[in-house]
Copies of this chain bind each other. A is one copy, B any other.
Amino acid sequence: MVVDSGPAQEEIDRIFQALADGTRRDILTRVIEREQSVSALAGAYRMSLPAVQKHVSVLERAGLVGKTRHGREQRVHAEPDRIRTARELLDRYEVLWRHRVAAMDALLAEERPDRSKE
Residues of A within 8 A of B (CB): 1-3, 9, 12-13, 16-17, 19-22, 25-26, 28-29, 32-34, 40, 78, 80, 83-84, 86-87, 90-91, 93-94, 96-97, 99-101, 118
For A84, give the chain B residue with the smallest CB separation. B94
A2 to B28, alpha carbons, bound, how many Å?
11
Contact of A16 with B22 in the complex, beta carbons under 8 Å: no
Give the shortest distance, in Å, between A8 (CB) and chain B (any CB): 10
Contact of B20 with A100 in the complex, beta carbons under 8 Å: no
Give the shortest distance, in Å, between A78 (CB) and chain B (any CB): 6
Given A78-B100, A100-B78, decide whether A22 and B32 contact each other with a Cβ distance below 8 A.
Answer: no
A86 to B92, alpha carbons, bound, how many Å?
12
Contact among B21, B78, B97 for A32, CB-based, below 8 A: B97
> What residues of B have a CB within 8 angstroms of the CB of A87 in the complex?
87, 90-91, 93-94
Other than A1-B29, A32-B93, A86-B90, give 13 A-B pairs with Cβ distance below 8 A: A12-B22, A13-B21, A16-B17, A17-B17, A17-B20, A29-B93, A33-B100, A34-B100, A78-B97, A80-B101, A83-B97, A84-B94, A86-B93
